[in-house]
Structure 1
Amino acid sequence: MCQATRNILWQPAQAWVRERNSRTDLVLRVGSGQATYHRYDPRTKQHLINYGVRMIAAKRQPETAQGWLSTREIRERGYFNGEVSELNLLAHTCCHEFAHLLQYSAGRRHLGSVHNPYFYEALDQLHNSGAADATRHYLSEQASSAGVELSGAVYELPNPARQRQQWQVGDSVCFGEGSHRKQGKIIRVNRKTCTVSVTQHSRYRVPLQLLRQSHSHLLDRVSSQV
């Protein structure tokens, strides 16, 4: 993804960006967590795009891919014919973060105005110009050369209404992995999330697809049937 961003997206735009801010450069890196973002440092004149490995892992499975903004953008704005797949999601993520770079370079990114009309103009242009398709093709070729499979199979995304039906207020649930795993009880079932009370003063809005039944909830169900 870093190579695709530099070779496919940055190189054609580099002169335009530097006309607005000379000696500007781009740093690309892979982060160990989920955070994926664009950031600009005026002291070093460096744009930074960080791709989180946990974000990549999440977008490789339909169950965890559906909660991401990039998934909604592909479906609602018709990018890649509205088809959500592992390959389309990763290519679109490159374009999404690069659109933030273009937005910032044009002076159109402000506090409280991030995903604004200019951002989507830039993102639409990346798709309409063929840059998104070129990014997708580059990712596919590079992955194949490295022996990594990036599937273009279209996801069958879970139905949110059906997901909501399996949860009820009072259910014991858990979410997160490893040291970040948390357990609590559902206190509200929302349209796309459940509000989970973990402690008396700690509540989380958790996407439906990230919830799992906790061991205590399974025991409760077994006890009720005895």
Structure 2
Amino acid sequence: MQHQNHHQLGQLMCQATRDILWRPVCDSVRATNPGAGLDCRVGSGNATYHRFDPHSQQHRITYGVRMIRAKQEQETAQWWLSTREIQSRGYFAGEVSALNLLAHTCCHEFAHLLQHNAGHRHYRSVHNRHFYRILDDLHQSGQAETTRDYLAERAEAGQLWLGQTPFTLPDPHSQARQWQVGDEITFQDRSTHRHGRILRVNRKTCTVQGLGASAGHRYRVPLALLRHWQIPE
């Protein structure tokens, strides 16, 4: 049921992208690139991206179900670029919530479409000044707000949970100070609880050597997912 909810939210994001972002500019996009179209889809993983197929002249935007799930949880939302963009650029008054993250994700991927159409997307230069000029304009013009309202209204009508309460995100520096090399920890990897020992404390993650059933594997684990290992009684 939870997976179905995330998939339905992905479908709403596709609808918002087409109705709010694509429809007003499709004629101008086609003036530059005749025959261009937009295909939005919901993927099964984390991958969320814009691609352009020069043969079919189709722009494709994919929203990953696992990305949608991660951005609805405070502990996992903090590691996404969209979170840093909202905070650092003041989008939605700097408030990070599940609703704001998904609305901003629509705008972020659509900005890549407009960036590509303008000829400003280059190899190793994707999130460049041209991209952020477009993304800023989507927010300043009110289209991001309209996208957010669209998602909120449609989610409520469809009885889909989409949190609007701002997250209280921890300071990564204070989180890192809680951990030391050699600490035994546990963390959840999808549906599996892992046991390991910290090899390195990074700015936002820890490098962990697996122990027990996870022996022989290394993991890069977000700080928010770490828990101190307690010997089972």
Alignment gaps of 5+ in structure 2: 1-12
**What secondary structure, in the 3-state scheme, does the structure 2 residue paired with 1:55 have?**
helix
What TM-score does the superposition give when structure 1 sets the normalisation length?
0.88
Q: 1:80 aligns with which of 67, 92, 97?
A: 92
- Amino acid in structure 2 at the alignment position of 1:65: A
1:200–1:20 CA distance, 2 compared to 1 (3 A): farther
1:197 Cα offset (Å): 3.3
Q: Please say if 1:93 is aligned against 2:105.
A: yes
1:102 Cα offset (Å): 0.5
Does the 8 Å CA contact 1:33/1:52 hold for their aligned counterparts?
yes
1:211 alignment partner in structure 2 = 226
Deviations 1:107-127 (A, max 9, x none): 111110010000000100000
Q: Please say if 1:10 is aligned against 2:39.
A: no
Q: 2:190 aligns with which of 165, 177, 181?
A: 177
- Amino acid in structure 2 at the alignment position of 1:206: V
Q: 1:70 aligns with which of 58, 79, 82?
A: 82
What TM-score does the superposition give when structure 2 sets the normalisation length?
0.86
1:25 Cα offset (Å): 0.8
1:190 Cα offset (Å): 1.6
Alignment gaps of 5+ in structure 1: none
Does the 8 Å CA contact 1:176/1:210 hold for their aligned counterparts?
no
Q: Please say if 1:105 is aligned against 2:120.
A: no
Structure 2 CA distance for aligned equivalents of residues 103 and 208 of structure 1: 34
Does the 8 Å CA contact 1:175/1:212 hold for their aligned counterparts?
no
Structure 2 CA distance for aligned equivalents of residues 195 and 185 of structure 1: 9
- Amino acid in structure 2 at the alignment position of 1:69: L
**What secondary structure, in the 3-state scheme, does the structure 2 residue paired with 1:47 have?**
strand
Does the 8 Å CA contact 1:26/1:48 hold for their aligned counterparts?
yes
**What secondary structure, in the 3-state scheme, does the structure 2 residue paired with 1:34 have?**
coil
Number of residues of Structure 1 aligned to a counterpart in Structure 2: 217
Superposed CA RMSD in Å reads 2.0
Does the 8 Å CA contact 1:84/1:155 hold for their aligned counterparts?
yes
